[in-house]
Amino acid sequence: MQIGKRSWPWGVALTLLALAAYASGLDGQDRPVVSEPPITAIDKSWPDVNLNVLVLDKSGAPQKIDEQAFQLFEDRTERPLRFPASEDSPLSLAFLIDTSGSTYQRKSDIVSAVAAIIHGLPADSEVMAASFADKSYLEFPFTPVSKVDLSFMDRVPAAGPTALYDAVWATERYFIANAKYPRRALVVLSDGEENASHGPIRTAFATMNWPGAPMFYACRVRDPRKSLDQFNESVAGHENLWFLAKRGGGKVFELEPDPAATAAQILAAIRSQHVLQFTAANPAPDGKEHKLEVKLRVKDVRIYTLPFYFAPPK
């Protein structure tokens, strides 16, 4: 994945991470190649793990659960829990916005949805935004919610195919290395189409289960060049987002037919996230997989969370 410069409102250029050992050939543009990731994506809390959990009832409405009702099992062994966040605690939130030709004409709806979510966040929360088409850009780093400026969308060009997997890979790494709060969420706004990544979907999966990874929400945006029936028949895009959301512990929303209502649903889910903190049974940074299971002494609910995590690498 190539990573390009974009001017920030403050006049500072920065980039997201690039895939390792990427070749040259930059179409004559001032777009640097990064041979190795400059940031080690290890959550600073390790060996404590903050697991974000969303609980929905049968109708899909978020539920606030008594903390003592939770049980967490790591590799089938129950772990003692701590609860470092409350309903009003600030959170770290990232937006990853598809600006490829297939979705960019929906810019006004996307901006409205993003703004509605931001305006409903708890005080002192932090927000970052990245955009992507065939390349990914960090539009602004984690910023206090009261200072977020969405005018960057007016400057983002509408061009190119879609490198969804690369963008998720890079954004997850940046998020883990830089987020401040234990309540964490990533919202991807895209039609889910993929035709330009340099790695397969498992490339995106690679960082979605590291300690510190955010809850993953996908908001599927309709390609305005397709009728609604044609869009609903687009299996590939929906499956891409569904697999990413499942791996990231979250769920998929549809921007259509009511973007305002969808934004409200996403906001309600984010604000209802619980954080279950436990200390890894094995603090060794060995990169091994650890199965997770959350249980509730509550009936008729559905639990969304990461199915497992990888210990940090050596």
Of 102, 132, 41, 77, nearest to 231 by C-alpha is 102
Q: Kindly tell me if the per-residue pLDDT of 37 is higher than 90.
A: no
Q: Kindly tell me if the per-residue pLDDT of 2 is higher than 60.
A: no
Question: Does any domain span residue 36?
Answer: no
pLDDT by residue (tens digit) across 90-127? 999 999 999 998 887 889 999 999 999 999 999 999 99
Instruction: Give me the pLDDT at residue 227, please.
Output: 66
pLDDT by residue (tens digit) across 41-59? 677 899 999 999 999 999 9
Q: Kindly tell me if the per-residue pLDDT of 32 is higher than 70.
A: no
Our count of domains for the chain comes to 1
CATH number at residue 92: 3.40.50.410
pLDDT by residue (tens digit) across 265-274? 999 999 999 9
Question: Does any domain span residue 6?
Answer: no
Instruction: Give me the pLDDT at residue 222, please.
Output: 83
Instruction: Categorize the per-residue pLDDT at 286 as very low, low, confident or very high, splitting at 50, 70 and 90.
Output: very high
Range of the domain at 48: 43-314
149-154 contacts: CB < 8 A, separation 24 or more?
Answer: 149/9, 150/111, 150/114, 150/115, 150/118, 151/9, 152/6, 152/8, 152/9, 153/97, 153/107, 153/110, 153/111
Instruction: Assign 130 to helix, strand or coil.
Output: strand
Question: Does any domain span residue 13?
Answer: no
Question: Does any domain span residue 300?
Answer: yes
Instruction: Assign 116 to helix, strand or coil.
Output: helix
Instruction: Give me the pLDDT at residue 231, please.
Output: 60
Question: Does any domain span residue 308?
Answer: yes
Q: Kindly tell me if the per-residue pLDDT of 8 is higher than 60.
A: no
The residue with greater pLDDT, 180 or 18, is: 180
What percent of the chain is modeled with pLDDT above 90? 69
Highest mean pLDDT among 90-104, 118-132, 212-226, 233-247: 118-132
The residue with greater pLDDT, 234 or 167, is: 167
Question: Does any domain span residue 34?
Answer: no
| H/E run at residue 230 | helix 228-232
